[in-house]
Amino acid sequence: MLKPLTIAMTMVASLVACTNPPNDPLVIATDKGAVKGVQQESLRVFKGIPFASPPVGDKRWRAPTPPTAWQDVLQADSFAPACAQIIHPFMSLANHPVSEDCLYLNVWTPATDDRRQLPVVVWIHGGGFSYGTTAMSLWDGAALAQRDVIVVSLAYRLSSFGFLAHPELSREAGGHSGNYALMDQIAGLKWVQKNIAAFGGDPNKVTIMGESAGGVSVSLLAQAPAAKGLFRGVISQSGAAVVNTGSYLNLADAEQKGVELMQRAGASSLAELRDIPLEKILEATATHSTPGGSTWPIIDGAVISGDPTELYRHGQQSDVALLIGNNELEGALFNRIKSADEYRAWVNQRFPDKADAIFAAYPAGDSDASAVKAAIDLGSDTTFAIQGYSWARLQDRHGQAPVYYYHWDHHPPARPGMWPGAIHGAELPYVFGTMKMRPQAWTDKDYAMSDQIMSYWSNFIKTGNPNGEGMTEWHPFSEAQPVALYFNDGASRMGNFPHAARLATVDPLTP
């Protein structure tokens, strides 16, 4: 059910009179005005800071612009509304308001003043590019910030508000349209460059981090010309934008999708489309909401200048350190196969030229249970693992910076209604130390696992190398030595790259 559109006068980050005492440690001057946060134990926390003007009215489907400067102090103590979306059962925050006026970010800083020059991590949430909000407690930044890093989370336009391409939009913008969500992310990173020093951060030590659609985002930002120089490292959990070109339309095809959406919305011009309420836009989008439509990144020739795989082959990526990986049962969250007959039909339809090889690599037998397991393995590999594996190889072939690859196979306590085990997103409460946000039967092994992964991640954010004293040594990945760090049962170990033999069956990457 859609939440009502919030208006500017009720924004969570509201303006208040500047009555704060001089040298108030909770008041920080940004390039557009002062903000006041709250003290949360040892951290200063700032929520709902605008990094761009509201993309509403005539600014709908335009590149983000800087926010208007303010004179009084901005009370930055609450999350802003989520970007416009249809509320999803578990990828959205059910009771949180939604709005097009949503381009705000949040900062958790352990620095007590602006002299610390701490490393910074910028979190980009997932949600299929159609759902999610920075307000979700699952990725609260407090526990990670207590590891002596500054955590920033930023919002970006979702669904067709973030990716609509259309011939009129392209003419208006000088030849390209779409990818507004990625432009928002870049605008947020530019805000960090301008302002994070005032929060005690070092703009030269920025790492971008995302999961799922957020992982795809950071993968694309690693190739975006406009994002070069804005970060020195990338952490991508279960998301990559290479060898997956079927999901990325070119500009002409994406513009046609935009024409079709305009027709479904009942508009005859761009001006009319900009006047239509957000609910009607989302309804028109939902009828054809698939990757490759108007809700997904496109190869527009500008923000994404070319095919992501080819950009790496030509050395056009940001050559920065990568920490990337996947979970053992990624596909379980998305699997729709319930029987052996369904599995055989699915494989024959999807892989008509090599179905026999697929059946050999992902055997199902005659039982429905084994077919479901085979379908999950195949979905995990084709939707997630092969992209991460290919990204690691492309960086090793065409870059100098190291790649650290992980494989998550630690099983969290069971959740009602969810497939058990290391499914898509299972690592998130461990990475952010937010297990207490979920009422599950957490054990000592779970807390040990969280401590380990947070140590590796924070070390990488600080130095570009995840290793530290007393930890299993994490060796970089290379094609000559394809290795990964395994997280399982409260411990970590190095091993050969997971499932390499079966991955060879679905590997589209050529030498």
CA angle 17, 18, 24 (to 5 degrees): 140
Helices (H), strands (E): how many in the chain? 16, 17
CA-based nearest residue to 454, from 104, 121, 205, 96: 121
Beta bridge partners of 234: 208, 322
Q: Which amino acid is at 92?
A: S
Look at the alpha carbons of 346, 299, 252, 268 in this order and tell me if their dihedral is positive or negative.
positive
Strand order from edge to edge, sheet including 27-30: 14-16, 73-75, 33-36, 27-30
Backbone angles phi, psi at 453, to 5 degrees: -70, -35
Per DSSP, 381 falls in state: I
Q: Is 53 a catalytic residue?
A: no
Query: CA 329, CA 312: separation in Å to the nearest integer?
Result: 28
Tell me how far apart the alpha carbons of residues 101 and 17 are, in angstroms, rounded to a whole number. 22
Q: Which member of 166, 407, 410, 424 is catalytic?
A: 424
Query: Strand 403-408 vs strand 321-327: parallel, antiparallel, or unpaired?
Result: parallel
Q: Which of 330, 390, 411, 427 is catalytic?
A: 330
Residue pointed to by tokens 């970060």: 231
Report which secondary-structure segment, H or E, holds 180.
helix 180-195
Q: Which of 170, 177, 212, 455 is catalytic?
A: 212
Active site residue 288: no
Question: Would residue 424 show up in a list of annotated catalytic residues for this protein?
Answer: yes
Both ends of the chain: CA-CA distance in Å?
48
Q: Which of 158, 141, 159 is nearest to 150 (CA)?
A: 141
Residues annotated as catalytic are 212, 330, 424
